Structure 1
Amino acid sequence: MLRFLRAVTALALLAAGGAAAQAVGAAPQLRVQVQEGALLGRALDGGVRVWQGVPYAAPPTGERRWQPPQPPAPWTGLRAATAPGDVCPQPMSQLPGDGRSGVRGAEDCLSLNVYAPPTPAPAPDAGRAPRTPVMVWIHGGSFRSGAGSDYAAELLAREQGVTVVTFNYRLGALGFLAAPALEDGAGGSGNYGLMDQQAALRWVRRNVAAFGGDPRNVTVFGESAGAMSICAQLASPLARGLFDRAILQSGPCTPQGVTAPLREALSTATAYARALGCAPQDAACLRALPVGRLLDVPVPGNRVPGAIDLPLVWGDRVLPRAPAEVFAAGAGLRVPVLLGTNRDEGTLFVAPVAPSGQDLPLWQFWGVVALLERWNAPLALASYPAGRGTVGDAAAALVTDSVFACPTSDLAADLARGAPVYAYEFRDPAPPLALSPTASVPRYGAAHASELVSVFGTRLAGLADPAQFTAPQARLARSIRSYWANFARRGDPNGPGLVPWTPYDPHAGRVLGLAPGATAEVTDFRQEHHCGLWDRLALH
């Protein structure tokens, strides 16, 4: 009887799925078979097909909390994939000026979303339509917020003819806690979020052909913590063979505070476990904690505002060596890379630090630089005088140069020794950001994350709306998407109608400046960002 009921249920699901597919039209294009079972997607305006909330790993709950991701369970019948899955647990908002508080998400969050372009006609001499390049997006959010479903990729898929995959990975303590109690005896503790990313990429290799994507042509792209993740994956032996090209937007993984040695991470986690009310060796206590407590209890330690609470860990099997050491030695994955930064990265981080209606206090600026640079602080402060604008402006410039521009330039030079590299700087002086200026940051400029709306061409809640583009900004955005998609297609961003982009030469240090109506090669990038200073300070 049980077998009979299961069969009836399966038939009912298939019938319901078929009816749903007919209701939205083009049922054969919306039903796909992946290794775990059949999926039903939906069609968007313009013919883009989307499947959402698709599990790529088992729920990391209960005993699977703080374990490497496990394969998802197969299902019978037709599974609806018409709405995003839960985001991974995180604070409600991380945007400056956003007053929302609380928690969003659930631990059963390891799902992905696939955007496929309209189905092209088969080639005259082939039995099926050609496969499309695949672009896999890794979201940012300081490793404590964000979700794949925050980014709508339908325009990128339709306009550029690429298959786009976005996904969630574990965040905060759930994704990066390297506690003594959680060591698995095989050199693993922490970096669960990086392991999730690798699991998602393995899923893409296995299944993307079902959506029309080419599993042999996968480009991973990401911004901020997403780009830092990709940077770390380039240094991880476990990521070998998972992607063919990489795009890093505003996210080098080599600066201080992005990664930490395992011994330091274990020390931090020991103090954190005690703050949570658990013994450092009591895994059962940690796994029994409610998610809200993990988010509410601060991670102990002295950090500058905006710093990563629980950095990526090196010294385990995921990252055996520090990424900076790997790249300096000419090691790591040798794949073509496109990478860059925004001209005013630091404004987004400095804006919320100062008291409301006031400039950043000079003593606070000095204190942060002293914490970061220690005995080198006087030299650093001398290069960023506060008298030329607000103290916030000086602080933002220092953050831009020391955390983003110069480390990315150094990373480009290291990577260019082993594979083609294309470097850029996003230089729009007034992108359409939905952020209010402050007394310390009266103008955001090309702030951190301000290029995202150009890359996706769709509204990003709380950040920007492409409906506010000027005509030159809209043309720039289209060019950026073309550069990105061309690179994903063949490892070279150049194409018809685009300003030529030459591969990065470490000796010349030139980058392509992306600006409305003024995209051109920038010859003084390192001088403008005081990279000689930061190179000297790194040696002390």
Structure 2
Amino acid sequence: MDRRIAATQAGRVSGVSADGVSRWLGIPYAQAGRFAAPVAVPAWEGARDASSMGPQCPQMYGNSAKRARLSPPDFDENCLTLNIYVPEGRPDGERLPVYVWIHGGAFVAGSGNPYDGSGIARDGGIIVVTINYRLGVLGFVNFGAALDDPSIPSNLGLRDQIAALQWVQHNIAAFGGDPSRVTIGGQSAGSMSVSLLLHAPDARGLFQQAIMQSGAVSLVHGRSRSEAIARDYVAALGLGKVGSPDVRSLPLSHLFEAQAAVGAANPGTVPAAPWLDGDLVPGSLEALHKAQAAPVPLLAGATGLEIRLFELMPGEILPTSWSALEALLERQLGAEAMQKIVAAYPRTAAGRRALASDVAFAMPTRHFADRHATHSPTWFYRFDYAHPIAGATHGLDLTLTWPMRGLRAALARGGPMSGRRAALGRRMTDHIAHFVRHGAPADGWPCYEATGGQTMVFNLEDRIASCPDAERWRAWRGRDVGVALA
């Protein structure tokens, strides 16, 4: 491997080059004390080694503290790093467009590290940046309100994402990138993050295009809900009393034990998620719907059977039963609207799964596209390729668009990455790269507008559909619910 040196504002970084791609890994884009806003990293001397990934942020999926991943060097609170993949062979002086990927994981787990951007960078002629941001109790709990402590900012994980985008603006030119041609993209919690960044004034001008895969403003918390959940954390940690410890000084393990307890006490929702704070983002779903998102080209969509993954996983992260879904709809939309929506779904297992998928992912994403298409170019898709057991479930699209190798990956995608399955993955990544380069997907994908509902349906053979699932869409009438908005 050959070494590659680039000069950032904080100092030089030494990456590696192989297989037609230069990689700089584990570059710190910011630093932050516990429950503090991210700030610039101090400058360093010499060339910092950037040939290996930085640590992932501490995290835990589910409600068992035994599953928490907290130990260095693989996991560490000093985790605000990013990875850069640059294709070699570009003409001297050419500035390449940039694709910043925001990973998913229900806001409590995940990392940008497993997403190897080498292939799409090399084949698509773009620069790929993957980022880490604070998760769970460290990134998405409203401690400032619950402890009446204004020194703890809201939505720290989102603030990390903005800090990463600011770093890209200031430094990506050193790697051959064009800071005026940045696309942000993400899946699941990453997609919901993108939907919030499109409404965050502090993020305006930091990107020029956006991609949303499976999720809009749906798993986020309303302000009152965020405060109630934060009070649960305060109680679990024994805080807020005279003589109680400062939340910043608690052992990391105690914080994640509290996350497990709060998750168990609040089934059917995410125990730590962004909230509509009225500061970084609008203060309510109504205010967000009235506000215009950043006027940039948008590519958005969802899978055909999102909820199946959550039926197969342990725990009760999202509502999946008829009773839970009906209660959620009635609580947030009223009995009449609930009945009209539920009537659009057959009273079968397939109908229940369709409703649960629409509640959590598909309809919020489509409604976001409906609103966005009124002012900016928008393209919409549905991913219908089906796993033999899980169907077209949440996250299955990632197994075709990011390199995942080995037996486990083959089982996750429903077979080896070859033949028609591989061809589908290439078509999807070609559209993504074309969108990053040109602000539109490749030929054959018509622009979306709500009345026509032109949708690219991805499968082993793609097709264009006009307003698929029209009866369900009409029943919703543009209304959204969120599992923790009320």
Q: TM-score range by the shorter chain?
A: 0.7 to 0.9
Deviation readout 1:264-288 (Å, 9 max, x if unpaired): 3223212311111111798952111
Match of 1:413 in 2: 370
Q: Which moved more, 1:466-475 or 1:202-211?
A: 466-475
Query: Of the two structures, which has the highest relative contact order with CA contacts closer than 8 Å and spacing of 6 or more?
Result: 2
The structure number with the bigger radius of gyration is: 1
User: Counterparts of 1:83-94 in structure 2 under 5 Å?
Assistant: 83-91=52-60
Which one of the candidate residues 394, 399, 404 is aligned to 1:448? 394
Match of 1:101, as an amino acid?
Answer: R
What is the distance in 1 between the residues matched to 2:163 and 2:327? 40
State whether residues 115 and 403 of structure 2, in contact with CA within 8 Å, keep that contact through their aligned partners in structure 1: no
Q: Does 1:506 align with 2:476?
A: no
Unaligned runs of 5+ in 1: 1-23, 123-127, 356-360, 432-442
What is the distance in 2 between the residues matched to 1:538 and 1:222? 20
Secondary structure of 2:184's match?
Answer: strand
Match of 1:526, as an amino acid?
Answer: D
What is the distance in 1 between the residues matched to 2:44 and 2:146? 34
Which one of the candidate residues 385, 393, 398 is aligned to 1:428? 385
Deviation readout 1:121-163 (Å, 9 max, x if unpaired): x3xxxxx241111000000000000001021111111111111
Match of 1:162 in 2: 126
- Kindly tell me: are residues 526 and 198 of structure 1, through their superposed partners in 2, closer, same or farther at Cα, counting changes over 3 Å? same
Scaled by the length of structure 2, the TM-score of the pair is 0.88
State whether residues 367 and 478 of structure 2, in contact with CA within 8 Å, keep that contact through their aligned partners in structure 1: no
- Kindly tell me: are residues 280 and 88 of structure 1, through their superposed partners in 2, closer, same or farther at Cα, counting changes over 3 Å? farther
Match of 1:438 in 2: none
What is the distance in 2 between the residues matched to 1:219 and 1:379? 38
Q: Does 1:197 align with 2:168?
A: no
State whether residues 298 and 379 of structure 2, in contact with CA within 8 Å, keep that contact through their aligned partners in structure 1: yes
Secondary structure of 2:427's match?
Answer: helix
State whether residues 363 and 473 of structure 2, in contact with CA within 8 Å, keep that contact through their aligned partners in structure 1: yes
CA RMSD of aligned residues (A): 3.0
- Kindly tell me: are residues 107 and 504 of structure 1, through their superposed partners in 2, closer, same or farther at Cα, counting changes over 3 Å? same
- Kindly tell me: are residues 161 and 483 of structure 1, through their superposed partners in 2, closer, same or farther at Cα, counting changes over 3 Å? same
- Kindly tell me: are residues 351 and 384 of structure 1, through their superposed partners in 2, closer, same or farther at Cα, counting changes over 3 Å? farther
Match of 2:8 in 1: 34
Match of 2:474 in 1: 532
State the 1:507 CA deviation. Answer: 1.2
Scaled by the length of structure 1, the TM-score of the pair is 0.79
What is the distance in 2 between the residues matched to 1:190 and 1:41? 34
Q: Which moved more, 1:177-186 or 1:344-353?
A: 177-186
- Kindly tell me: are residues 531 and 85 of structure 1, through their superposed partners in 2, closer, same or farther at Cα, counting changes over 3 Å? same
State the 1:460 CA deviation. Answer: 8.9
Identity, % of aligned pairs?
Answer: 34
Aligned residues: 466
User: Counterparts of 1:21-420 in structure 2 under 5 Å?
Assistant: 24-25=1-2, 27=3, 30-44=4-18, 46-58=19-31, 60=32, 64-91=33-60, 101-104=67-70, 105-120=75-90, 122=91, 128-179=92-143, 180=145, 185=150, 189-253=153-217, 255=218, 257-261=219-223, 263-279=224-240, 285-297=246-258, 298-299=261-262, 303-305=266-268, 307-322=269-284, 325-326=287-288, 328-329=289-290, 331-352=292-313, 365-374=322-331, 376=335, 382-386=343-347, 388=348, 391=349, 393-420=350-377
- Kindly tell me: are residues 157 and 349 of structure 1, through their superposed partners in 2, closer, same or farther at Cα, counting changes over 3 Å? same
State the 1:300 CA deviation. Answer: 6.4
- Kindly tell me: are residues 217 and 323 of structure 1, through their superposed partners in 2, closer, same or farther at Cα, counting changes over 3 Å? farther
State whether residues 346 and 395 of structure 1, in contact with CA within 8 Å, keep that contact through their aligned partners in structure 2: no
State the 1:372 CA deviation. Answer: 4.8
State whether residues 238 and 244 of structure 2, in contact with CA within 8 Å, keep that contact through their aligned partners in structure 1: no
Q: Does 1:494 align with 2:442?
A: yes
State whether residues 339 and 424 of structure 1, in contact with CA within 8 Å, keep that contact through their aligned partners in structure 2: yes
Unaligned runs of 5+ in 2: 482-486
Which one of the candidate residues 499, 520, 526 is aligned to 2:463? 520
